[in-house]
Amino acid sequence: MIYPESDLMACLNRIGPVDGEAGEQAARRQNSLTKPPGSLGRLERIVIELAMIQRREIPVPGRKVIFTLAGDHGVTAEGVSAYPAVVTAQMVRNFIAGGAAVNALAAHAGADVVVADFGVAADLDIQSPNFRNCKVGYGTANFARGPAMSREQAVTAVARGIELFESEMRSAAIGLTGIGEMGIGNSSAAAAILAVIGDLPPEQAVGRGTGVDDAGLARKIDAIRSGLERNDPDRTDALDILAKVGGFEIGGMAGVMLAAAAHRVAVLCDGFISTAAAMLAVQLCPAVSAYLIASHRSREPGHRLMLELLAKDPILDLDLRLGEGTGAALAMTIIEAACRVHREMANFARAHISDRG
């Protein structure tokens, strides 16, 4: 089934602005609490952002869901990754078995993990309540030699991301969404997206991903340079960028972000690949940006550039470079803490505390 672009546009049209008045109410509440104004720094700003997104003075984390989207990448044929491509499918099974880092960190955060196959190069045939089959294809084509996918596949990937979020939202309301991924080779696709949107030479956009060596890094730069030259993506057209150098799971992540914003649900971007999807989502609809929270700054050097382009200040800076949604899960615990302070603290009057002299 192929989705028309008009369906996608219908979702974009449902994305409205966030609520400045609710943000002001939350800021006033923060200033009434028994602490010097502003002394909880980033925690206060997180709550105000979330109040604007949720359109209420006292936002709630609610049900937390990490979506971990998987897809394979034809560009692995260029020798761009430290791991063989079969690891994508193996790690999907590891997510379902609960043995991956994102499982441990999501459990710590009290978040559900929903694993979705958007383009793994194998029939996974997994029966699990946490697994969704959203497969658009069996891995992308090698973007160093031609487009990664057709424009129709790009639209389908985004549309299935929208559907994925909406079906999960229907099953039970979501308060906070985290968005992660697994896909051997996908840091090459993310670097290519950064190079296009940021108008950067490949060597500035690229990093070591899961830990490629110097020779692999050189191959990665070559593959991206070749991909940009051969495909010539239109940097003003997110769907063209996605089709030419993206990935099925990257399109799906952009779709989840769009749908979450349409439902006024905050989205925590994770690392380099997740944030590449955020750049596409924001290009499709700039209003999405106000619903995006940067959970952390990855060790992948291009991630810093992405966050600057998106004007997002990450909550955490823990030298992570794993993906999966691990940084998003960690940041959820900080956001939940910020909400708890906002909800539970006493105010000066009630606690009989003298205010500033």
**Which residues have a catalytic role annotated?**
324
For residues 222 and 138, give the distance between their C-alpha atoms in angstroms, rounded to a whole number: 24
**Are residues 240 and 158 in contact, defined by beta-carbon separation less than 8 angstroms?**
no
Asked if 93 interacts with a copy of itself (CB under 8 A), we say: yes
Residue type (1 letter), 195: A
According to CB under 8 A, which one of 87, 148, 159, 189 is a site residue for a copy of itself?
Answer: 87
Beta-carbon-side half-sphere exposure of residue 9 (alpha carbons within 13 Å): 3
Task: State the binding string over 108-127 for a copy of itself (x if CB under 8 A, else -).
Answer: xx------------------
Q: CB of 124 within 8 A of CB of 117? A: yes
Q: How far is the CB of 305 from a copy of itself (least distance, A)?
A: 19
Which residues, other chains included, contact 182 with Cβ-Cβ below 8 Å and sequence gap of 6+? 68, 69, 70, 88, 91, 92, 95, 249, 323, 324
351 belongs to the binding site for a copy of itself (CB under 8 A): yes
Residue for token pair 């105000």:
48
Q: Which of 54, 94, 177, 274 binds a copy of itself (CB under 8 A)?
A: 94
Binding residues among 298-327 for a copy of itself as defined by CB under 8 A: 299, 315-322, 326
Under the binding rule (CB under 8 A), the answer on residue 349 touching a copy of itself is: no
Check binding of 356 to a copy of itself (CB under 8 A): yes
Say whether residue 33 binds a copy of itself (CB under 8 A): yes
Cross-sheet strand order for the sheet of 131-133:
131-133, 112-119, 64-71, 176-182, 266-269, 292-294
Dist CA 310 CA 297 (whole Å) = 13
- Residues 15, 22, 26, 40: which binds a copy of itself (CB under 8 A)? 40
Output the six-digit token pair for 137: 């294809």
Which residues from 209-248 bind a copy of itself, rule CB under 8 A? 210-211
Q: Which is nearer to a copy of itself, 38 or 286 (CB)?
A: 38
Using the minimum distance from each CB to a copy of itself, give the nearer residue, 9 or 349.
349
In the complex, what is the shortest distance from the CB of residue 2 to a copy of itself, in angstroms, rounded to a whole number? Answer: 34
Determine which residue in the list 101, 200, 287, 310 makes contact with a copy of itself, applying CB under 8 A: 101
Please identify which residue in 122, 200, 309, 345 interacts with a copy of itself, judged by CB under 8 A: 345
* Distance, first Cα to last Cα, the chain: 68
Compute the distance between CA of residue 135 and CA of residue 156 in angstroms, rounded to an integer: 10
**Residue 280 Cβ, how far from a copy of itself at the closest point, in Å?**
24
d(CA 248, CA 70): 8
Where does this chain touch a copy of itself (CB under 8 A) — which range of 15-23, 134-142, 231-239, 344-352?
A: 344-352
The span from the CA of 8 to the CA of 153, in Å, is: 13
Look at residue 357 and give its three-state secondary structure.
coil
Nearest to 132, CA basis, from 277, 10, 252, 250: 252
Q: Does 337 bind a copy of itself (CB under 8 A)?
A: yes
Binding mask 261-300 for a copy of itself (x = CB under 8 A): --------------------------------------x-
And the tokens for 42? 């980033």
Candidates 84-92, 152-160, 273-281, 287-295 — which segment interacts with a copy of itself by CB under 8 A?
84-92
Residue among 122, 218, 287, 341 that touches a copy of itself (CB under 8 A)? 341
- Distances, alpha carbon 346 to alpha carbons 32, 38, 47, 210, 342, in Å: 8, 16, 16, 46, 9
Residues 123 and 337: their CA atoms lie apart, in Å, by 40
Q: Which residues bind a copy of itself (CB under 8 A)?
A: 33-43, 81-84, 86-87, 90-91, 93-94, 97-101, 103-105, 107-109, 210-211, 299, 315-322, 326, 329-330, 333-334, 336-337, 340-341, 343-346, 350-357
